[in-house]
Amino acid sequence: MIIVIDGPAGSGKSSTAREIADRLNIQFLDSGALYRALTFLWIRNNKPDKATFFEILPETDLKTEYRNQTFFVNANGDDITSDIRSHNVANYVSKVASWPEARAFVNQYMRNLVQKNAYVADGRDLGTAVFPDANLKFYMDASIEERARRRFAEMKNSDPNVTLEEVKDNLRSRDQADQNRKADPLKKANDAIVIDTTGKTFEEQVQEIILIIKEKLKL
């Protein structure tokens, strides 16, 4: 079974999906973390040209695991879970995610996982491009001000020097890039249920989605 939650950065997809996974006792899959991992590896390899990067990428043993509300990412034995959240990675991730080769790699990785377990996954194009036959699709959104405030609060630990304005600028430019890229842009699927989280508490948005899941999937 696969439930997908798409939406722009900071709309609350990831934290909501984690909570849903825990309450329904299923796995959580963070597609953005996979794009961030590729971006981190590209930066760590000194930003090689695309062809070189996709030649060396298959040599990387990329492993993911969800436990204790954290989506762990490991590359060749290194735990890169917190490295992939840096502002530097955020600045390059939409570029890397616009490469069709990166999308093919991440999509294949996710489809392999979903064959083995029940998942709730969050991303940009899961309901449209990756899992068009998902059991249930949500599209989460919120105002840019609210999304920037949430993300800023989250980044205080990993990046104490970043400002609210920088976070807002990053969200704005990623929204732009994600919506306008040629390869699988951020887009609401026709059959996705829209959840606007502006002004809602975390518990309210989780409850709303859980109720819909239970009703539609008879869980």
CB of 214 to ligand CDP, least distance (A): 25
Cα atoms in the Cβ-side hemisphere of radius 13 Å centred on 136: 20
Q: Counting contacts by CB under 6 A, is residue 125 touching ligand CDP?
A: yes
Binding of ligand CDP by 174 (CB under 6 A)? yes
**Cβ-closest position to ligand CDP:** 32
Closer of 33 and 213 to ligand CDP (Cβ):
33
Q: Which stretch binds ligand CDP (CB under 6 A): 6-14, 49-57, 58-66, 74-82?
A: 6-14
Q: Which two tokens stand for residue 160?
A: 């104490």
Compute the distance between CA of residue 219 and CA of residue 210 in angstroms, rounded to an integer: 10
Which DSSP string do the residues of 162-208 spell out, in sequence order? --HHHHHHHHHHHHHHHHH-SSS-S---TTPEEEE-TT--HHHHHHH
- Can you tell me which residue has the tokens 């990785």? 109
Least Å from the CB of residue 177 to ligand CDP: 6
Q: Which residues does 113 contact at the CB level (< 8 Å), separation at least 6?
A: 27, 29, 64, 119
Site string for ligand CDP, 130-169 (x = CB under 6 A): ----------------------------------------
Q: Which is nearer to ligand CDP, 65 or 211 (CB)?
A: 65
**Residue 162 and residue 190: Cα distance in Å, rounded?**
36
Contact positions with ligand CDP (CB under 6 A) in 7-36: 9-10, 14, 31-33, 35-36
94 binds ligand CDP per the rule CB under 6 A: yes
Residue 93 within binding range of ligand CDP, rule CB under 6 A: yes
Q: Which two tokens stand for residue 190?
A: 């026709």
Give the footprint of ligand CDP on this chain (CB under 6 A). Answer: 9-10, 14, 31-33, 35-36, 93-94, 97, 123-126, 174, 178
